[in-house]
Structure 1
Amino acid sequence: MRKIFLFISGFLASVVFVLASNVLHQTSEDYFLAKALGKNPLKINENLFSANIGNQINEAQLGSCDISQIKAKSYLSLLVNQQGESKIIFEKNTEQKLPIASVTKLLSAVVAEEFYFGDKIKISSQAVNQLETTGELRAGEWLDKKELLKIMLIESSNDAAFALSEQFTESGFVGLMNLKAKDLGMKNSIFFNASGLDPEDVKMQENKINLSTANNLALLLQNILLNVPEILEITSQKTLPLYLENGAFHHTLQSTNQLLGENPYIIGGKTGLTERALGCLVLVLKTNKQNEYIINVLLGSLNRFSEMEILNTCSLKKTLELIK
């Protein structure tokens, strides 16, 4: 009888311990996620965009535009301000889930900025073997997060994106990307890799492709604009000599964004191009009003730069009408 009593007591104690452990684990996990995914206060950096404030929009200089000339699968032009308010200027199929190619790297940058607090990152041979011809990374060299972010965002380096994701294990990093997307309200987005490459180029099943919508990407850009403008600042660079922390010259970064320098109102953005995604491009533009911006998103285009020029012109002209 005593043995039975001891057995039952031990069993009940084990159950209580397991339940308590699960509750503690869940509580700790919830606390971590709440802490990690908590929204930052708005922090528009006016110095970041001061060079553009003097470029007042002149309707006569903008020329004519015809929004019907844009044949992309989806586009969105959104007017936003520092208070987080927004107004749709133009839209087409903004809820259609489409591949977004290297536009993915904007979310990768947000995750790296928010979650990675390490020092130097050693470049692995697997990182330099990613599909691309940019980045000029070498296996065994050490770079810090800021340097890799510049290479990833300006040159759209898949090597740099993979190197950043490796610090969490690639699957762990992608998990954080999906958590962050959910936190931002990007309900119609899913991510399988940090670079945006088509699945066949990263040896994944063909259905495991990064997808999002124009509306969801506008939410991402709005978050970057308001909370992590340093990411936008990096993407505003057409060319940038990259010097490492020790002062050594690495190489000169060349932006993949052909519209930088062509339109004085552009303050940043990101390109994307794969066989399945076609051409993608997202931009942020300054308007005549302080702390007011235009977010333009273009997905599934055969002529992304020329079509984005049309969207830029039409949206800038429309903002002039709105403030008259």
Structure 2
Amino acid sequence: MQLVFVLVGLFLPSLLFAQPAAPVVPAIAARAYVLLDFTSGQILASHNAHERVEPASLTKLMTAYLTFSALRQKTLQPGQVVPVSARALKTIGSRMFIDPGKPVTVDELMRGMIVQSGNDACIALAEAISGTEEAFAQMMTREARRLGMKNTSFVNATGLPHPQHYSTAHDLALLAAAIVREFPEYYPLYSIREYRYNNIAQANRNRLLWTDPTVDGMKTGYTENAGYCLVTSARREARRLISVVLGAASDAARAIESQKLINYGFQSYDTVRLYEKNQPVATLPVWKGASSVVKAGFTSDFYVTLPKGRADRLKANIESMQPLLAPIGAGQQVGTMKLLLDGKPYRELPVVALEAVPVAGILGRSWDSIRLLFK
């Protein structure tokens, strides 16, 4: 049995502009792409989002994620000197050109990995964290699963081609968002335009860092099979969008197509907070509890991304998971909020108990048992 509560007063006057047509996604010349609103977590545009592809140097987002985690856990230190193996020094592909006769620190390797896309830096960091690149790759895949990256498998820290090394546009968007959200102290590394090491200056290959001042990261990638790839993060006022473009035709094309997606997201949508953290959005009946009702809501601020000018067409229903039987723990799901836009399903989110409801005494439980027989 479900009880449905229709929420009224869902009125956002700052967004009421006449714009009846739904946003039309521009044509994107890429094998796959995703546009993600960072705050609401909504996908605003996608194509072949779950198709497995070769991630190329976008792999280094996960190498960086695990490096940042090691720094936070203090198993690595920024100034720590890292021994560099022959394997790291002799790796193929893009490099930061580590000097075997000169000590290199974790901090230098991070910049070499992020700005210069150095494969040698990635292997050195992987070996410093896990002992071998193979062990590190296993850690990468485990972490991918924890982050919800269901169609990703890593076999190396660099992105060099391998049949069992793959990801998707959707999964890479999740990874990029996790870096921005979890490591704000390290994310600014992705905005560095140039890094000099061993008297060799290399520019960041992300062209949008020069052409769009709202872009502050993230990572490029290329192999012959993967094509030209780019993960981009941009912030305009309070909003942040993350785009993933895979398999573009050229270096210039990946920047152009990414810019199209970013502009589309900012120009066509608004992200607004509907409910505050711990704000009750419904009071639901409880059976066999010390209280006959429980306040329900969200344990974090609830944001929704909407096409501009269509907020007045948004309606919300809460379906309660009836019968709700005590005991109920704080944070336990007690219902589902279903958002309708123009009468069509738009989003669904779990609604949780904002307070605990312990069981009633024997008389209260017995009385509710009798009442439930007639429900």
Task: Verify same fold: TM over 0.5.
Answer: yes
1:295 aligned residue: 242
Alpha-carbon distance between aligned partners in 1 of 2:38 and 2:258, rounded to the nearest angstrom? 18
Give the aligned residue type for 1:216.
D
Work out whether residues 152 and 160 of structure 1, in 8 Å CA contact, stay in contact via their aligned partners in 2: yes
Work out whether residues 123 and 141 of structure 1, in 8 Å CA contact, stay in contact via their aligned partners in 2: no
Alpha-carbon distance between aligned partners in 1 of 2:254 and 2:136, rounded to the nearest angstrom? 29
C-alpha distance after superposition, 1:7-31 (max 9, x if no partner) = xxxxxxxxxxxxxxxxxxxxxxxxx
Higher relative contact order, structure no. (Cα contacts within 8 Å, ≥ 6 residues apart): 1
C-alpha distance after superposition, 1:273-299 (max 9, x if no partner) = 0011111110111133x2x31010111
2:156 aligned residue: 193
Alpha-carbon distance between aligned partners in 2 of 1:222 and 1:75, rounded to the nearest angstrom? 15
1:286 aligned residue: 235
Tell me the TM-score normalised to structure 2 length: 0.60
Q: Cα offset for 1:76?
A: 0.8
Alpha-carbon distance between aligned partners in 2 of 1:141 and 1:301, rounded to the nearest angstrom? 38
Tell me the TM-score normalised to structure 1 length: 0.69
Structure 2 vs 1, CA of residues 322 and 68 (structure 1 numbering), >3 Å: closer, same or farther?
closer
1:304 aligned residue: 254
Alpha-carbon distance between aligned partners in 2 of 1:140 and 1:111, rounded to the nearest angstrom? 27
Structure 2 vs 1, CA of residues 107 and 73 (structure 1 numbering), >3 Å: closer, same or farther?
same
Counterpart pick for 1:70 among 20, 28, 37 = 28
Alpha-carbon distance between aligned partners in 1 of 2:48 and 2:168, rounded to the nearest angstrom? 8
Counterpart pick for 1:315 among 243, 249, 265 = 265
Q: Cα offset for 1:184?
A: 0.7
Structure 2 vs 1, CA of residues 179 and 131 (structure 1 numbering), >3 Å: closer, same or farther?
same
C-alpha distance after superposition, 1:153-194 (max 9, x if no partner) = 111111111111122211111111111111111111000110
Work out whether residues 26 and 261 of structure 2, in 8 Å CA contact, stay in contact via their aligned partners in 1: no
Give the aligned residue type for 1:107.
M
Work out whether residues 26 and 264 of structure 2, in 8 Å CA contact, stay in contact via their aligned partners in 1: no
Alpha-carbon distance between aligned partners in 2 of 1:142 and 1:182, rounded to the nearest angstrom? 35
Q: Cα offset for 1:301?
A: 1.6
C-alpha distance after superposition, 1:54-79 (max 9, x if no partner) = xxxxxxxxxxx984431211111111
Alpha-carbon distance between aligned partners in 1 of 2:99 and 2:87, rounded to the nearest angstrom? 11
Work out whether residues 284 and 294 of structure 1, in 8 Å CA contact, stay in contact via their aligned partners in 2: yes
Partner SS state of residue 243, structure 2: strand
Alpha-carbon distance between aligned partners in 2 of 1:231 and 1:217, rounded to the nearest angstrom? 18
Partner SS state of residue 121, structure 1: coil
Number of residue pairs aligned between Structure 1 and Structure 2: 241
Work out whether residues 115 and 193 of structure 2, in 8 Å CA contact, stay in contact via their aligned partners in 1: yes
Alpha-carbon distance between aligned partners in 2 of 1:98 and 1:251, rounded to the nearest angstrom? 32
Alpha-carbon distance between aligned partners in 2 of 1:123 and 1:139, rounded to the nearest angstrom? 7
> Mind listing any 5+ residue stretches in structure 1 that lack a counterpart?
1-64, 200-206, 243-248
C-alpha distance after superposition, 1:19-59 (max 9, x if no partner) = xxxxxxxxxxxxxxxxxxxxxxxxxxxxxxxxxxxxxxxxx
Work out whether residues 287 and 319 of structure 1, in 8 Å CA contact, stay in contact via their aligned partners in 2: no
Greater fraction of residues in helix:
1
Q: Cα offset for 1:123?
A: 2.1
1:184 aligned residue: 147
Alpha-carbon distance between aligned partners in 2 of 1:275 and 1:252, rounded to the nearest angstrom? 25
Counterpart pick for 1:264 among 184, 193, 213 = 213
Name the stretch that deviates more: 269-278 or 221-230: 221-230
Partner SS state of residue 36, structure 2: strand
Alpha-carbon distance between aligned partners in 1 of 2:196 and 2:101, rounded to the nearest angstrom? 21
| Residues 107-126 of structure 1 aligned to structure 2 (within 5 Å) | 107-115=62-70, 116-117=75-76, 119-126=80-87
Bigger radius of gyration, 1 or 2?
2
| Residues 109-258 of structure 1 aligned to structure 2 (within 5 Å) | 109-115=64-70, 116-117=75-76, 119-167=80-128, 168=130, 169-199=132-162, 207-208=163-164, 210-241=165-196, 251-258=200-207
Percent identity of equivalent pairs: 30
1:15 aligned residue: none
Please give the root-mean-square deviation of Cα atoms over the aligned residues, in Å: 2.1
Alpha-carbon distance between aligned partners in 2 of 1:109 and 1:298, rounded to the nearest angstrom? 20
Work out whether residues 221 and 230 of structure 2, in 8 Å CA contact, stay in contact via their aligned partners in 1: yes
Q: Cα offset for 1:230?
A: 3.5
